[in-house]
Amino acid sequence: MTAETAVALPALVLLSAMLIWGVVTASMQIRCVDAARVGARAAARGDVDAIVLAQQAAPAGAVVQVSQDGDTVRVMVEAVCRGPGRLGAALSVRLSAAAVAEREDAVGATGGGS
């Protein structure tokens, strides 16, 4: 093993770990967005289990909040993606997503008709 290989190999391992962590983080962000959309659709329909549906779609350990403001519902999903290795806590990233939907029972009540 040459000296160049001895220096380059740890750098390549570190680069690979960071790239994998980036893919995992992006995947968790997409899951947060999907969970917020699922929860907002369910809450807009008036489903009482909107939080449960959003929790099932969200990454493990995510926090789901549903709020209602007039004729709209808002679902917030927050999760923490820990970094790789022993520095996981120091390199953690907080992910969040929100979705807003108009309540379906309010759509017919507010507007004019035919």
Phi then psi for 51, rounded to 5 degrees?
-65, -40
CA distance 104 to 47: 11
Domain 3-110 has CATH 3.30.1300: yes
pTM listed for this prediction? 0.80
Residue 33, number of CB atoms within 10 A of its CB: 18
Q: Cβ distance 19 to 87 under 8 Å?
A: no
User: Radius of gyration over alpha carbons of the chain, in Å?
Assistant: 21
Give SS3 for 71.
Answer: coil
CA distance 65 to 63: 7
Sketch the domain layout of the chain as residue ranges.
3-110
The per-residue pLDDT string of the chain (114 residues; one tens digit each, 9 = 90 and over) reads 688 888 899 989 989 988 998 999 999 999 999 999 999 999 999 888 999 999 999 999 999 999 998 899 999 999 999 877 777 777 889 999 999 999 988 666 655 554
Q: Cβ distance 85 to 17 under 8 Å?
A: yes
pLDDT reported for residue 109: 60
